Each structure stands twice: as structure tokens, then as C-alpha cells.
Structure 1
Amino acid sequence: MAKKSWLERDKRKLRTVRKYSALRAELKAKKDYVSLAQLPRDASPTRLVNRCQITGRRRAFIRRFRLSRITFRELASAGLIPGVTRSSW
């Protein structure tokens, strides 16, 4: 499980990105890069981190399921993810 401070930091970044998204789009359309640079760094969507919905792990993230590989394997083996079957050959 990720530290609560990291999870809260990511939530704060997400709120900041959403807050400035319209303004960023407007400034980019005007090609006003000086004003764009004056915005907070966390207003950029590239600063967001993909995290597992259950554990908060950021590495080995599977986008389609929004889970880390470890959590995905546990849930898939237990049959808790619809449409996912274990392979055998």
C-alpha cells in the first residue's frame, strides 16, 4: 500500500489539473507560452501519475483495468475480473 501522503499529493495534482485545464487550453490556442509558463507546475497533465485503484502502486500499472500487475493477478486468479480467464496449455 502506498503512503497516504503520496496518494493525497496525487489527488491534489489532479484537482489542480482540472482547475487549470480550460485556461491551459485557451493559452495554448493563443500560443501565449509566457502566460502558460506562469501557471503552477502541477497544472500540467503530464505530472499526473497512474496508480493502482486498490493498492496505490505506481509501477507495473495496467491501464485497461487501472490496477497494478500484482493486484490484477490476484483478482484474476480469484475470478473477480469479468472477461479475464486464466490461460492453460
Structure 2
Amino acid sequence: MATIGFFASTVSRIFSNLATGFNVQQTRNKWANARMLRDYKRRLVAKEYAPLRVRLLTMKRNNILPREIQDIASQEMLEVPRQAAKSHLTGRCVITSRPRGNLRRWRLSRFVFRHLVDYNKLAGVQRALWG
């Protein structure tokens, strides 16, 4: 019986601490899901290494340069992260993180774009009217 009383007092103490001292509100970040966060990190890496990667790649593929320079460039390419490649970036919707069916100009998926246009939330965009 004493163990049940100890358990009950411990539980009540935990809940009182939660209610008074700790933040029990669920925290969310600005990413729709983990894939969107991964894409953001890839974009940061690509932005940092893009100029170096392009230079090394052109030196590596250039047939006019001596073979030694091409080999040095290919060795230095191994140190550049692969995620810095532009082909590794996925155009995702900034709201839903949907990878397909996006309008590049607005970086929105077709569903979100249509919803925003329907309710007049995008400046300068209007639904097609004819007839």
C-alpha cells in the first residue's frame, strides 16, 4: 500500500512541475517535414560549394589542360560534398514540401497555388476568365 501512495505522490509532483515550471506546449519548426529540412540543408551546402565545384569540374573535363592538372582537379573534387551538385536539389513546395507538380516561378505546388489564387492571396495572379 505504501508503494501506491509513493507512486501517486511522485506522479502528482511530476504533473505539478509540468504545469508550473516547464513549457509543455508542443513546439514546431518552420519545416513541413524532414525532407524539407534536408532539402534546405542541401541548398545551403550547394550555395557554399557551387563556385568551387563548377571550377573543378570544368578543369577536370577540359581536354586542353595537361593531364596532371586534370588529375589534381579530380582529386580535389573528392573533397567537395556530393550534395553540392545541382542535380541533387529538388524543387519542393515551400508550404507542403511536395516534390512534384510545382510551379517554379512561385515555388508552390499546383494545389496550393490554385487555392491561393482562388482566394486572391497571390498578388498579380488571377484565374483565367473567358466566355
TM-score range, shorter chain: 0.7 to 0.9
Match of 1:24 among 32, 35, 53: 53
Structure 1 counterpart of 2:82: 41
TM-score (norm 1): 0.82
Give the Å deviation of 1:76.
0.3
Match of 1:55 among 68, 88, 96: 96
Q: Distance in 1 between matches of 2:43 and 2:85?
A: 10
The alignment's C-alpha RMSD in Å is 2.0
Whichever of the two has the greater Rg, that structure is 2
User: In percent, how many aligned pairs have the same letter?
Assistant: 33
Q: Distance in 1 between matches of 2:59 and 2:104?
A: 33
Q: Distance in 2 between matches of 1:36 and 1:49?
A: 25
Deviates more, 1:68-77 or 1:38-47: 38-47
Query: Which runs of no fewer than 5 residues in structure 1 stay unpaired?
Result: none
Q: Runs ≥4 in structure 1, deviation > 4 angstroms?
A: none
Task: Give the match's secondary structure for 1:55.
Answer: coil
Query: Which runs of no fewer than 5 residues in structure 2 stay unpaired?
Result: 1-30, 61-69
Asked whether the equivalents of residues 49 and 84 of structure 2 are also in contact (C-alpha less than 8 Å), the reply is: yes
Instruction: Name the amino acid aligned to 1:21.
Output: A
TM-score (norm 2): 0.58
